[in-house]
Structure 1
Amino acid sequence: MWLLCVRLSRADSSGTADPRGQSHASEEVMGRCQDMARHTGDDTNLSPGSTVAAPETAPETAPTLALEIAPSPHLVDANVTTRRAMIDVVIALLPATVMSVVAFHWYAVVQVGLCVLSCVAAEWLVNRVARQPLTLGDGTAVVTGMILGLSLPWSAHWYVAVIGSCAAIGLGKAVFGGLGHNIFNPAMVGRAFVMLSFAGQMGAAAYVRVDSELAVVTRPTPLTLAKQFAADLAAGRVTAGDAKVQLESAESIWGLLVGQANGSLGETSALAILLGGCYLLWRRVISWEIPAGVILIAFVCTELGHLTNLTHIGPLNHLINGSLLFGALFIATDPVTSPVT
């Protein structure tokens, strides 16, 4: 304001050649400025003839556009949040979890529970070390722990679950910047890590029934069964037709559906996995294209292999095998590492 008054004073004085008139005009202008200052609260003292330095102004800069993008998944429905989507996934995993408890009893409870607790603890530790806001409320750590636990064999030792959980959160998610930035499924990163680190506990020997308490699971894994038939066929003990009939018998198919097949905790019952997948489709958490694509590709590849060698497992066994369905419905549909629109 004072700068404006000074300019007015100079403008008035420049229009007259009489010094007395110039002084009178300046006094009149300065009087008006002082009256304005009293009304605006500016108590700067300014006398006629004095000057006021113009305030320094910051150089003009181009406006910046800041966009805040929430972590993935970027769902179309505005009402769908990450927390709600993760709750739906937990609900969808419950049927497979219940069937694993039926088949493997308290071993399944310990394995899944330990993975969930370890993932939650690892997530909390990462947030504290990185001085980030706690992200436990979004539920992603719980989902990672459940998927990892259901992908492990019941016989894996407790430290396998703990190390796998830490690898899932630390290597699978935290090193990439947290939720929404990971390029791999965190649970599968943990699964691959323990598979390489503890091959003896994660290989075929881990699925052999060694405890008499596991009375429900009385069959080897479908892959082990196929290898046995291939060995018998090579030795001449069975024919190709006999092997095919036994592999695709009603008893074998029914065992894969209801949870009487050996395997990882979450792959024992195809019906339980399908039930959870249908729930996710109904809730629109996942789209049908990704599971359908995985199943279709598996069908074509296994059918081609089965046509060239009858001892290979046929497409029907592959399609109802829990590991294929579990991967197609709960792993391939990960909203961060797969497209959702």
Structure 2
Amino acid sequence: MSDAPIIVSASPHVHSDRTSRKLMYDVVIALVPAFLVSVYVFGIPALITTVTAVAACLIFEYLIQKYLMKVPVTIADGSALITGILLAFNLPAGIPLWMIAVGGLVAIGIAKLSFGGLGYNVFNPAMAGRVFLLVSFPVQMTLWPTALENNTSLVDAITGATPLGMIKEGVQYGQSMSEISASLPSALEMFLGVTGGSLGEMSALALLLGGAYLIIRRVISWHIPVTVLATIAVMTAIFWWLDPEHYANPLIHILSGGAILGAFYMATDLVTSPVTKKGMVVFAVGIGALTVVIRLFGAYPEGISFAILIMNAFVPLINTYFKPRRFGSRIKAKML
């Protein structure tokens, strides 16, 4: 036997000749269509928000690794870049720049590097940064700019409610869905992205194209995004069927808010999601169910960010229960 030590590295564990860096940049490529739509809809404010978030994440990762942790700097691996983009996609265009920087510090410094860096973090960094900002600065985080033509400056943007926010507020004030629907964007508008909301809520079409790219490239598995969206669709369809004047139809829940963004780009994070297919399905059902419960019965109109973080905490338990079969165990069982 060789005396060479067995080295077990942290996740993500990918059976491929591609490196983690290549996988990260595939995700960046997948996000380009949605980014272009957000810039088209919101103009320069969307670009400023994204650049600020990315810069904050890269700078904080560099400073913390070099001067606090005193470990090799890993900003070139693409993980901090993706965190910055996803953080920006969860923010409204025109949010104060210093708040974006705070979100980047929480995402990188607390949610990622305090656990040891890429492969060791328990929670999705971008989601942690977003939830921290939402809880700390709820007013600024819910001032959604509306889509304006030729919107080129931060002061040009006016605010408006998201479709989910309009439904939540309308139901609270006793309006029926028939009355609320008259003020909602059409399904086509939500699909193409001409609505109010965060940068990543603009175009379901662009997000789905990017998600399809990731699946084709085998960066992610279809199990998590499809199961998350199917769970949301089935649960909201049941409530809608029982009381269509009090609950929105499932198409609205899928196309509006962060359902598609969360399902394809954050719930599928290789580090914070289960390693087995069965575990992925359980994880995704939990995200979908919690999202619906928070949307329908919670204080916030959107719930997928909270749902992802809650289920991130259960991933070690899910991985423990759904362990992969040990190599050779089936053959040994037959021999016995």
Number of aligned residue pairs: 269
Let me know the Cα RMSD of the aligned residues.
2.6
Provide TM-score, normalisation by structure 1: 0.72
Structure 1: tracts of 5 or more residues without a match: 1-62
Cα 1:64–1:131, aligned 2, differ >3 Å: closer, same or farther?
A: farther
Structure 2: gaps (5+ residues): 277-336
Aligned positions of 1:161-180 closer than 5 A: 161-180=100-119
Match of 1:257 in 2: 191
Matches of residues 209-288 of structure 1 in structure 2 within 5 Å? 209=146, 214=151, 220-227=161-168, 229-230=170-171, 234=174, 242-243=178-179, 246=182, 252-288=186-222
1:302 is matched with which residue? 236
TM-score, with normalisation over the residues of structure 2?
A: 0.73
Conservation of the 8 A alpha-carbon contact between 1:226 and 1:247: no
Aligned equivalents of 1:161 and 1:317: distance in 2? 29
Q: Give the 5 Å matches for 1:44-193.
A: 66-77=5-16, 79-128=17-66, 129-193=68-132
- Counterpart CA distance in 2 for 1:322 and 1:158 is 23
Q: Deviations over 1:67-110 (max 9, x none)?
A: 32344210111x12110000000000111111110111000000
1:130-173 deviation line (CA, Å, top 9, x unaligned)? 11011112110000000001110113110111000011001111
- SS of the residue corresponding to residue 153 of structure 1 reads coil
**Partners of 2:148 and 2:229 in 1: CA distance:** 34
SS at match of 1:67: coil
Whole-angstrom CA distance in 2 between matches of 1:273 and 1:217: 25
* Counterpart for residue 331 of structure 2: none
**Which stretch has the larger CA shift, 140-149 or 66-75?**
66-75
Q: Deviations over 1:5-59 (max 9, x none)?
A: xxxxxxxxxxxxxxxxxxxxxxxxxxxxxxxxxxxxxxxxxxxxxxxxxxxxxxx
What amino acid maps onto 2:264 in structure 1? L
Q: Which runs of 4+ in 1 moved over 6 A?
A: 215-219
The equivalent position to 1:339 in structure 2, one of 274, 277, 292, is 274
Return closer, same or farther for 1:68/1:247 CA change in 2, 3 Å cut-off: farther
**2: distance between equivalents of 1:322 and 1:181?**
29
Identity %: 38
- Assess, with a 3 A threshold, how the Cα gap between structure 1 residues 195 and 187 changes in structure 2: closer, same or farther: same
1:220–1:201 Cα change, 3 Å: closer
Which amino acid in structure 2 is aligned with residue 144 of structure 1? T
2:164·2:256 contact (CA, 8 Å) conserved in 1? Answer: no
Query: 2:249 matched to 1:314?
Result: yes
Q: Secondary structure at the match of 1:281?
A: helix
Greater shift in the superposed pair: 312-321 or 165-174: 312-321
User: Is contact 1:273-1:322 (8 Å) kept?
Assistant: no
SS at match of 1:133: coil
Q: Cα offset for 1:211?
A: 7.7
